[in-house]
Amino acid sequence: MANESTTQGSRADAAEPRDSQWPLWEVFVQPPGGDPHEHAGSVHAVDAESALQNARDVYARRGEAVSIWVVRSGQITASTPEDMGPFFDPGNDKPYRHPQFYKIPRGIKV
Amino acid sequence: MTPIQPQQTPVSSPEDPERVAAFEARIAAGETIEPKDWMPERYRRQLVRMMSQHAHSEIVGMLPEGNWITRAPSLRRKMSLLAKVQDEAGHGLYIYCGTETLGVDRQELIEQLLTGTAKYSSIFNYPTLSWADIGAIGWLVDGAAIVNQTMLAKASYGPYARAMVRICKEENFHKRQGYEIMVTLAAGTPAQRRMAQDALDRWWWPSLMMFGPHDGQSSNSDELMRWGVKRKSNDELRQRFINLTVAQAKAIDLVIPDPQLGFDETTQDWRIGPIDWDEFWRVVKGNGPCNQERLAARRDAHADGEWVRVAAAAYAAKQAKIDSAFEAA
């Protein structure tokens, strides 16, 4: 138990994993057809170039990708679940941002 | 604002019942649990156990098949077997990285496998005695895995579910290449037919055991189902696999090695005879035909790969030095 919580703590704070398995990189893959890059998973790699090659080998063996991004996991800044309410709130009280807010006479297509 | 990995669950005990209730309500509402969400420590540990076992199984699963790469009967068969074994490695990696989002290191998980403290699927402790076994493994073992993984693609833990979606897409190729081998052998010479039947005879029962003990005997099932990790019970999944597979065996005139096999008109299910659970537990506990051999092969592979890891690190260090020299200039 104590062991596990130490592991978690050190991983949470560190940009680098503490062991010999090399840094963790998040992989984003862009499918053909102009869709945006999407998170596919992660790889361990010694540097960016080998991270890209590993990502190609692991996540793009069947024509899934026209482009791959890799980024060090520790370099990503993310919102936390606790932020969820207040952080995303401003959208909820602004219905006028949506087309359904505006009334159009019956029978007219706009 | 924090790095995205790993999850931030504080390890607090005892857990706040209100928090647990809110967590269970989220699962009941069909929401996905993500790495940084709060989760009960027990949920996290069950997932680490289940996902790492699953990842280990993919990795160890390469061994019985790798045994036949050099002896595949044609270049076509060799290419597809190579691709399949490469897929197994990839599947292992998808699930390892999913497991890492729960705050464990891959290195730790691999050490658990190599030291024999972690489990992997018992099916891989059986030997592959003939080429037909490669067919039977694709057809039956991957077939059973697909039934299981299709359900896990709806698991409550997001990273696991997403890894399963990806794996299911790839796994169908494995199953079809296996069945194609069986179709070919079953339609071949009498000796080839015997080989196919022999492989089915040996792999049928172990593949049924892949779904785990009967529901009544499965210690983890209730909890995993309550938390939406599993959506169907071991017996339900096993029945689905039996119904699919019996028809496939009949289509190529192979005989399911079970004298008690019979069709139940009311439930529309194929009923099987008793499973030899003693054998199952014997293999789970490390006394299967190849338990020692598999682990030894895995340890050797890891040790033999050491120079590659060292070389990659040395190369990266050298590149970094060159880059910084350029920048300085």
Model confidence pLDDT, tens digit, residues B225-267:
889 999 999 999 999 999 999 999 999 999 999 999 999 999 9
* Cβ-defined contact of B94 to A8 (cutoff 8 Å): no
Residue B223 confidence (pLDDT): 85
User: Does residue A83 carry a pLDDT above 90?
Assistant: no
B252: Cα within 13 Å, side-chain hemisphere? 23
Measured between beta carbons, which residues in chain A are less than 8 angstroms from residue B108? 7, 19
The reported pLDDT for the residue numbered B214 is: 92
Non-local CB neighbours of B206 within 8 Å, separated by 6+ positions: B122, B123, B126, B283
Nearest CB to B11; choose among A1, A20, A73: A1
B37 band by pLDDT with thresholds 50, 70 and 90: very high
Give bridge partners of residue B270 from the DSSP assignment: B263
Mean pLDDT of B304-314: 91
Mean pLDDT, residues B135-153 taken together: 96
Report pLDDT for A87: 78
* pLDDT, tens digit (0-9, with 9 covering 90-100), for A9-64: 333 334 444 456 889 999 999 999 889 999 999 999 999 999 999 999 999 988 88
Say if strands B262-264 and A24-30 run parallel, antiparallel, or are unpaired.
unpaired
Angle (CA) B125 B129 B134, round 5°: 80
Residue B139 structure tokens? 């057809």
pLDDT confidence of residue A63: 86
Q: Does B86 touch chain A (CB under 8 A)?
A: yes
* B 143-202: CB under 8 A from A: 162-163, 166, 170
Question: ipTM of the predicted structure?
Answer: 0.83
How far apart CA B223 and CA B202 sit, in angstroms, is: 33
% of residues, chain B, pLDDT over 90:
83
Model's pTM, two decimal places? 0.87
- Stretch B68-74: mean pLDDT: 96
* pLDDT at site A20: 61
Q: Would you say residue B110 has pLDDT above 60? A: yes
Residue B3: which H helix or E strand, with range? Answer: strand B2-3
In this complex, is the C-beta atom of B323 within 8 Å of any C-beta atom belonging to chain A? no
- Is the Cβ pair B105, A17 closer than 8 Å? yes
According to DSSP, residue B16 is labeled: P
| Chain B residues with beta carbon closer than 8 angstroms to that of A78 | 1-4, 36
Q: Which two tokens stand for residue B26?
A: 């989220």
H or E segment to which residue A77 belongs: strand A77-78
**Measured distance CA(B90)–CA(A43) in Å, rounded:** 11
For residues B238 and B242, what is the distance between their CA atoms, to the nearest angstrom?
6
In order of A3, B68, B136, B182, B186, the CA distances from B175 in angstroms are: 41, 17, 9, 11, 16
| Distance separating alpha carbons of residues B198 and A56, to the nearest angstrom | 39
Burial of B104 (0-12, 13-18, 19+ CB in 10 A): buried
State the nearest Cα–Cα gap between B298 and chain A, in angstroms. Answer: 17
For residue A21, give the amino acid letter.
Q
Q: Which of B33, B38, B100, B170 to mutate to test the interface with A (most CBs of A within 10 A)?
A: B100
**Rounded CA gap, B289 and B127, in Å?**
7
Q: Which of B262, B258, B296 is nearest to B275 (CA)?
A: B258
Per-residue model confidence as pLDDT tens digits over B165-211: 999 988 889 999 999 999 999 999 999 999 999 999 999 999 999 99
Quick one: angle between helices B306-328 and A48-59, nearest 10?
130
Strand partners, B3: A77
Rounded to the nearest angstrom, the gap between the alpha carbon of residue A18 and the centroid of all alpha carbons in its chain is 23
Q: Which residues pair with A43 in a beta bridge?
A: A25
Q: Which residues contact A64 (CB under 8 A, 6 or more apart)?
A: A29, A31
Cα B71 to Cα B28, B128, B177, distances in angstroms: 50, 12, 16
Query: Residue A88's pLDDT band (boundaries 50, 70, 90)?
Result: confident
pLDDT score at A110: 80
Which of B1, B94, B312 faces A77 most closely, judged by CB atoms?
A: B1
pLDDT of B7 above 50: no
Q: Could you give the C-alpha distances from B123 to A1, A24, B163, B203, B294, in angstroms and in order?
A: 31, 31, 21, 9, 11
Share the mean pLDDT of chain B. Answer: 92
Of A4, A42, A50, the CB nearest to B11: A4
B2 Cβ under 8 Å from any chain A Cβ: yes
| Structure-block tokens of residue A104 | 């159009």
pLDDT digits (tens, 9 = 90+) for B77-109: 999 999 999 999 999 999 999 999 999 989 999
> Which chain B residues are within 8 Å of A56, Cβ to Cβ?
none
pLDDT at residue A3, rounded to an integer: 37
At residue B126, what are phi and psi to the nearest 5 degrees?
-100, 145
Residue A85's H or E segment, with its range, is helix A84-88
